[in-house]
C-alpha cells in the first residue's frame, strides 16, 4: 500500500506547480544534498536577445544572419529561438534548412539554399574541422557575460553573434533558499564557455563552475558529485537529458524546456520558474517524516 503521507505529499506538490513522478521521486527529493544546475534556460530565462553581429568573413551581416536563422529554425535551443525571432523582426526571409543535424549543446549543421551552414559554439566548429578564431574576453563589450554563437558558411567563419541571456531575477534567492533547506553544495554545469559562465554567476552562492560541457561531460559531473551525496540535477535542454537520468533526482523545467528533458526527469516544474523547488523539498521532507 502507498502510505497516505506520500499520496498527500504528491498532491500537495502538484498544487504548487510541481509534477512529482511517484513516491520514489518524492523520497529522493527529501534526501538531496548536492545540486547540479544548468545555466542557459535554467539559471537564465532562456529568453535571449541578440546584442551584436560581427561579420568575420566575406559574407555580409544580413546574409550571415539570414543563413544562421534559417538553419536554427530546426533547433529548439533557447538561443536558436531568439535568433529566429530576431531575423524575422528584421524582415529577413528565412529558407527551409535541409539535412539538418543537431549536436545537443554544441549546435546545428545543415544546408541552406545549397550552402553548408554551421551555427553553434567552439566545440561544433572543432568537430567540423573549421578553424574559427575566438574573440577573447577583452574584445567582449558585454564583460564576457553574453552567450557567443559562431556562424560558419561553406566551411569558413562568417559571423560572431552575441546574445544577452540574463539570469532569472530570483535565481540567487532561490539558490540561497535551497541551501537553507539542506542543499550543502551547488555546482553549475554548462555547455557554455567558462568566461561567460563565471561572469554571469559571480556573486551567486555556487561552489564550483564546470563549463564547456557536452551532454556526456554533464553526466560525468553528476556521477562524480554523487560520491559526495544524493544529487539533484536541474536542467531544461536536450543536452541535459542524460545528466537528468543519471542523477538521484532529475528536475526539468517543463514550461519552455525540451520534451526529452521532461521525459528523463523525475520531477517536472510546470511553471517557467525555479521558485517552487524549495517548497517541494520541504513538502517531501515532511511527507517522509510522517511516512516513517
Ligand atoms: P547550457 O548547458 O548552459 O544550457 P548550452 O550548452 O545549451 O548551455 O548552450 C551553450 C552554447 O551552445 C551557446 O552559447 C551556443 O554557443 C551553443 N549552442 C548550442 N546549440 C545551439 C543552437 N541550436 N543554436 C545556437 N547556438 C547553440
Ligand atoms: Mg540549458
**3-state SS, residue 271:** coil
Average of per-residue pLDDT values in the chain = 91
> Which residues, in sequence order, are CB contacts of 155 under 8 Å at separation 6+?
116, 128, 129, 130
Do 218 and 189 reside in the same domain of the chain?
Answer: yes
190 CB within 6 A, ligand 1: yes
CA distance 222 to 24: 19
Do 11 and 147 reside in the same domain of the chain?
Answer: no
Q: Output the pLDDT for position 137.
A: 54
Q: Output the pLDDT for position 143.
A: 46
Return the half-sphere exposure (C-beta side, CA atoms, 13 A cut-off) of residue 192: 33
ipTM: 0.94
CA of 120 to the centre of ligand 1 (A): 6
Question: Mutual orientation of helices 78-89 and 61-72 as an angle, nearest 10°?
Answer: 130
Do 159 and 172 reside in the same domain of the chain?
Answer: no
192 CB within 6 A, ligand 1: yes
Which ligand gives the minimal distance to the CA of 237? 2
| Residue entry with cell 529568453 | 47
Q: Which CATH number fits the domain that encloses residue 53?
A: 3.40.1110.10
CA distance 209 to 107: 21
Atom 25 in ligand 1: residue holding the nearest Cα: 120
Last residue of a domain, one of 164, 184, 216: 164
Last residue of a domain, one of 130, 164, 198: 164
119 CB within 6 A, ligand 1: yes
Tell me the whole-structure pTM to 2 decimals: 0.90
Q: Read off the pLDDT of residues 131-181 as tens digits, 9 standing for 90 and up.
A: 998 876 534 444 445 788 999 999 999 999 999 988 999 999 999 999 999
User: Among the listed ranges 6-20, 55-69, 264-278, which one has the minimum average pLDDT value?
Assistant: 6-20
CA of 73 to the centre of ligand 1 (A): 14
Do 40 and 21 reside in the same domain of the chain?
Answer: yes
237 CB within 6 A, ligand 1: yes
Q: What does the pLDDT average to over 202-229?
A: 96
Structural domains in the chain (count): 2
Q: Domain of residue 257: give its range.
A: 4-45+167-291
- Residue 291: which pLDDT band, with cuts at 50, 70 and 90? low
Do 154 and 182 reside in the same domain of the chain?
Answer: no
Last residue of a domain, one of 164, 195, 217: 164
**3-state SS, residue 173:** helix
Catalytic machinery residues: 38
Q: Which CATH number fits the domain that encloses residue 9?
A: 3.40.50.1000
Do 34 and 61 reside in the same domain of the chain?
Answer: no
Which ligand gives the minimal distance to the CA of 253? 2
Do 202 and 275 reside in the same domain of the chain?
Answer: yes
Do 89 and 17 reside in the same domain of the chain?
Answer: no
Do 75 and 86 reside in the same domain of the chain?
Answer: yes
Do 138 and 187 reside in the same domain of the chain?
Answer: no
| Residue entry with cell 545537443 | 104
Q: What does the pLDDT average to over 55-63?
A: 93
Which ligand gives the minimal distance to the CA of 81? 1
pLDDT at 120 over 90: yes
Q: Output the pLDDT for position 180.
A: 95
Do 16 and 105 reside in the same domain of the chain?
Answer: no
Got the DSSP string for 195-215? HHHHHHHTTSS-SEEE-S--H
CA of 257 to the centre of ligand 2 (A): 8
Closest CA to 171 of 205, 140, 139, 131: 205
Q: Output the pLDDT for position 22.
A: 87
191 CB within 6 A, ligand 1: yes
Do 139 and 177 reside in the same domain of the chain?
Answer: no
**Proportion of the chain in helix, strand, coil states, percent, rounded to 5:** 40, 25, 35
Amino acid at each position: 500500500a502507498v502510505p497516505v503521507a506520500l499520496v498527500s505529499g504528491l498532491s500537495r506538490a502538484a498544487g504548487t506547480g510541481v509534477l512529482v513522478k511517484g513516491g520514489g521521486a518524492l523520497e529522493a527529493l527529501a534526501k538531496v544534498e548536492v545540486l547540479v544546475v544548468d545555466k542557459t534556460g535554467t539559471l537564465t530565462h532562456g529568453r535571449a536577445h541578440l546584442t551584436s553581429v560581427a561579420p568575420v568573413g566575406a559574407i555580409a551581416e544580413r546574409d550571415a544572419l539570414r543563413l544562421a536563422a534559417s538553419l536554427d529554425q530546426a533547433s529548439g535551443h533557447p538561443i536558436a529561438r531568439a535568433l529566429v525571432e530576431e531575423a524575422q523582426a528584421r524582415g529577413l526571409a528565412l529558407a527551409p534548412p535541409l539535412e539538418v543535424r543537431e549536436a545537443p549543446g554544441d549546435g546545428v549543421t545543415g544546408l541552406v539554399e545549397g550552402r553548408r551552414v554551421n551555427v553553434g559554439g567552439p566545440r561544433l566548429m572543432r568537430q567540423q574541422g573549421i578553424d574559427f578564431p575566438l574573440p577573447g574576453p577583452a574584445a567582449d563589450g558585454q564583460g564576457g557575460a553574453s552567450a557567443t554563437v559562431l556562424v560558419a558558411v561553406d566551411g569558413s567563419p562568417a559571423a560572431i553573434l552575441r546574445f544577452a541571456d540574463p539570469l532569472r531575477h530570483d535565481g540567487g534567492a532561490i539558490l540561497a533558499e535551497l541551501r537553507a533547506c539542506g542543499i550543502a553544495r551547488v555546482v553549475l554545469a554548462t555547455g557554455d564557455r567558462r568566461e561567460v559562465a563565471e561572469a554571469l554567476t559571480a556573486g551567486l552562492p555556487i561552489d564550483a563552475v564546470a563549463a564547456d560541457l557536452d551532454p556526456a561531460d554533464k553526466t560525468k559531473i553528476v556521477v562524480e558529485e554523487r560520491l559526495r551525496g544524493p544529487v539533484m540535477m536541474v536542467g531544461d535542454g536536450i543536452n541535459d537529458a542524460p545528466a537528468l537520468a543519471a542523477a538521484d533526482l532529475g528536475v526539468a523545467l517543463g514550461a519552455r524546456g525540451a520534451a526529452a528533458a521532461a521525459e528523463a526527469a523525475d520531477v517536472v516544474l510546470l511553471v517557467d520558474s525555479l521558485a517552487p523547488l524549495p517548497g517541494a523539498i520541504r513538502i517531501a521532507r515532511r511527507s517522509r517524516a510522517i511516512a516513517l
